[in-house]
Chain A
């Protein structure tokens, strides 16, 4: 046997060997998968615009949810602030930004809930009523489900952060979470355009 050492082969690595962060890669994958789910729901929505056999129709009952939208979109800024803060090691600012994000997200969720309440009890539109009802509640509901999941995660992080358990070395994890939240916001832009602009 002339040679015994099999591993490591040829020993020395030329450059430092850095691999991307697996959490961030995985989150991008998840976003791709989720985006595909939303695309299918959006396609179904677009396809069924104007195909309902009976009312109520979107133009009669839908109003632009401007306030909720502003809240949700600004929560993207606050979550970004949380990430930059933790990168700098500023845990207090991070907690503050996370709290703001949770608050803004919850306000958005509340506006959706109020809108649904109005549609169901005042307008008599349910998921069973017609194609509009089916596609509307499914698409908006799917998005709202994602908001809820995001809020739960953000809230948990906030608790940890308040307990002082979130530190600079966790910044990549917070970044993964913020990616998800940005995605939820971006989807809302699409849903908003499709449901409230195109669909009316």
Chain B
């Protein structure tokens, strides 16, 4: 730490200051345009206020409308993060106001004025007491922040798993999500269905996550913080929304060309709805196509093309695992991991050339003719 040194008084400097002036280019000092500073500050203030008002006008609706606002938590992990973040935000805000305020005060109060004497100000080299105090106070703040952080880390990461938790395996793929429900033998893609969790008898969903290729990250801001899906490694997280509904998010770890269109959709359903959904997903996709010749033809096209190397339709020879499971494709709201609404036109266009809607996606265009496209679309729309 610095040694305590005596403070010099400005009076002592008068003579030397004169000398210094001669020594230097005369007039350097007078050029300092400090007087304008305050005027500028005040006109700046008006401008800033107007700008702030404009922002507020934007901010309120944006926060209200956003389905991915981290300050609108809907599950326990997101909620505990939310309250912790409020604490952190207020502590840092106070620090900012104090330190920033002092800085601002010093910069305005101690500015060089036109009518200032030419004397150099008192030279102060340091002070042990003051320096000690601004070492100790931050240490105390840090300890406080650290302890409250640790609590939330443990609450979230070391929470005991209830017996009736739902297990889902999540596997990230270059630009889509695979979901497996080992207990029910259900495999689906891109749209995660989970039961809501009644706070009185919680049924949280535990996600076991890994990746088939590169790293991805699972992030539904309203439910929980993100967790990475890393190949050759298993991470876990849990979510427990209490209100049924659709929760959005998207991949948050850069994973290649279409990282941007690797969206997440979580459907939280009442236990009854969820059970129904599971039941439906468990069935084989054996639609009766006799009434629908086009779809029947589509099935043939599908089964005789390379589609089956990459896609599974349970109950048929198609058992590829490179692309999403299509067994119940028609039961999904979107295709290609979220960005495209699942309707026959879109489906047809997707199959015709995936790179039009999702350039860089790993599904190739199969160069089917119009008729085959119609047929295959008709077939896929029967896969409920």
Residue of B nearest to A51 (CB): B232
CB distance from B290 to the nearest CB of A (A): 50
B19 close to A (CB within 8 Å): yes
B22 close to A (CB within 8 Å): yes
A198 close to B (CB within 8 Å): no
Q: Which residues of A contact B23 (CB under 8 A)?
A: 1
A2 close to B (CB within 8 Å): yes
**Interface, chain B (partner A; CB < 8 A):** 19, 22-23
Q: Which residues of B contact A2 (CB under 8 A)?
A: 19
CA distance A2 to B18 in the complex (A): 12
Closest 3 CB pairs of A and B: A2-B19, A1-B22, A1-B23
CB distance from B275 to the nearest CB of A (A): 41
Hey, what's the 0/1 contact readout for A77-115 against B, CB within 8 Å counting as 1?
000000000000000000000000000000000000000
| A1-49 interface with B by 8 A CB criterion | 1-2
CB distance from A53 to the nearest CB of B (A): 10
CA distance A1 to B22 in the complex (A): 8
Taking chain A's interface residues, is the majority helix, strand, or loop, or is none over half, making it mixed?
A: loop
Chain A residues touching B, range: under 10
CB distance from A56 to the nearest CB of B (A): 22
Residue of A nearest to B22 (CB): A1
CB distance from A192 to the nearest CB of B (A): 30
Residue of A nearest to B19 (CB): A2
Q: Which residues of B contact A1 (CB under 8 A)?
A: 22-23
Q: Which residues of A contact B19 (CB under 8 A)?
A: 2
Q: Which residues of A contact B22 (CB under 8 A)?
A: 1
Hey, what's the 0/1 contact readout for A113-146 against B, CB within 8 Å counting as 1?
0000000000000000000000000000000000
CB distance from B112 to the nearest CB of A (A): 26
CB distance from A43 to the nearest CB of B (A): 18
CB distance from A52 to the nearest CB of B (A): 13
Residue of B nearest to A2 (CB): B19
CA distance A166 to B126 in the complex (A): 52
CA distance A1 to B19 in the complex (A): 8
CA distance A1 to B23 in the complex (A): 8
CB distance from B242 to the nearest CB of A (A): 42
CA distance A2 to B19 in the complex (A): 9
CA distance A1 to B20 in the complex (A): 10
CB distance from B14 to the nearest CB of A (A): 16
CA distance A77 to B217 in the complex (A): 55
CB distance from B16 to the nearest CB of A (A): 11
CB distance from B276 to the nearest CB of A (A): 43
